[in-house]
Amino acid sequence: MAGRLEGKVAIVTGGASGIGRASAELFAEEGANVVVADLRDGTETVAAVRGRGREAVFIETDTSDEAACETLAKDAEAAFGGIDVLVAAAGISNWRYLDPEGLAPHEEPDPTATYLLNAPVEAWQKVLDVNLTGVMLSARAVARRMVAAGNGGAIVNLASIMAKVPLQGVGPYCVSKAGVWMLTKVLALELAPHGIRVNAIGPGFIETPMTAGIDEADTGAWAMRLTPMHRMGRPDEVARTVLFLACGDSSFYTGAMLHPHGGVFTD
Ligand SMILES: NC(=O)c1ccc[n+]([C@@H]2O[C@H](COP(=O)([O-])OP(=O)(O)OC[C@H]3O[C@@H](n4cnc5c(N)ncnc54)[C@H](O)[C@@H]3O)[C@@H](O)[C@H]2O)c1
């Protein structure tokens, strides 16, 4: 049986790790060739895609850089002759998330703290640059080429439950993800006439390097209190939602956000 992305070309930003990597692997199983875009080395994901019998290339990309996003889209098109799908999964949880000395502040947030009043403005700016501006820049670089090619396409943006649920201590992240949610709706509106569907995913707490500090039984008890299913999700569980929104099974979805989140109340 043909895969659900047979013969398609997908760019996955943040494809070196976590949800992006799981999506790239599942896409390969469903017949897609994959362009892995990341700040960090994505060659392991490339090997995983090739191990599934599909072609892949790694393009080192900082998605918060406009020129880098243009180069990514141009080089992806040159490598595979077109782009059918973009998964925008590159993201950071806090401004120092990818620093070698970075912090992973996953302790229970202090209910009396006023993080947003005291956080340095660079912390706010960095998270917005990567999580919101980066999604806009990668989406539009790819969408321009999709529009020019005239074959339609699908864009899947990684937002979060925190697009809808405020959480103390991670204000910039929440605001960035709320922005991704509105960006998704605006792009869906503008790109619908071109046959390009744009949807978002708002996962709950998923086991990836980003949540490495959260332990279901201990440090993450606060996160599990928000999660009726009382466990972390797995990257492959999110990847199946990404696949749904990337392929024809979701042909009448655009401007929507789906929530693989174990029941966190977002409405
Ligand atoms: N893990 C969770 O619980 C969770 C929950 C909701 C939403 N998300 C979102 O899902 C997406 C993927 O997260 P993950 O959990 O797989 O994290 P991850 O850290 O495993 O993967 C994120 C990837 O993005 C890359 N990246 C970061 N900044 C970049 C930049 N400027 N340019 C290019 N690549 C960059 C990183 O190098 C990394 O490989 C993120 O947008 C995240 O906010 C994650």
Give the residue extent of every domain in the chain. 9-258
Atom nearest to 22 CA in ligand 1? 16
| Phi, psi (deg, nearest 5) at residue 40 | -95, 165
* Residue position matching structure tokens 């340095």: 120
CA dist 169 and 172 (Å) reads 9
pLDDT at 142: 99
Ligand 1, atom 16, residue with closest C-alpha? 18
Q: Is 39 in the pocket of ligand 1 (CB under 6 A)?
A: yes
String of DSSP letters for the chain: ---TTTT-EEEEETTTSHHHHHHHHHHHHTT-EEEEEESS--HHHHHHHHHTT--EEEEE--TT-HHHHHHHHHHHHHHHS---EEEE----SSTTTTSTT-----SPPPTT--HHHHS-HHHHHHHHIIIIIHHHHHHHHHHHHHHHHTS-EEEEEE--GGGTS--TT-HHHHHHHHHHHHHHHHHHHHHGGGTEEEEEE---SB-SGGGTT--TTTTTHHHHHT-TT-S-B-HHHHHHHHHHHHSGGGTT--S-EE--STT----
Q: What is the largest CA-CA distance in the chain?
A: 56
CA dist 200 and 183 (Å) reads 9
Contact at 8 Å (CB) between 71 and 142? no
Atom nearest to 159 CA in ligand 1? 7
pLDDT at 93: 93
pLDDT at 101: 65
pLDDT at 160: 98
Q: Is 173 among the residues known to form the active site?
A: yes
Atom nearest to 21 CA in ligand 1? 16
- Average pLDDT across each block of 10 residues of the chain; the chain has 267 residues. List them in order: 95 98 98 98 98 98 98 98 99 87 54 76 95 99 98 98 92 96 99 99 96 76 91 97 98 98 90
Q: In this structure, which topology does domain 9-258 adopt according to CATH?
A: Rossmann fold (3.40.50)
Q: Is 264 in the pocket of ligand 1 (CB under 6 A)?
A: no
Among residues 97, 115, 173, 253, the one annotated as catalytic is 173
Q: Is 134 in the pocket of ligand 1 (CB under 6 A)?
A: yes
Atom nearest to 64 CA in ligand 1? 31
Q: Is 209 in the pocket of ligand 1 (CB under 6 A)?
A: yes
Ligand 1, atom 40, residue with closest C-alpha? 91
Ligand 1, atom 43, residue with closest C-alpha? 91
Ligand 1 centroid to 206 CA: how many Å? 11
Q: Is 172 in the pocket of ligand 1 (CB under 6 A)?
A: no
pLDDT at 155: 99
pLDDT at 110: 60
pLDDT at 90: 98
Ligand 1 centroid to 1 CA: how many Å? 32
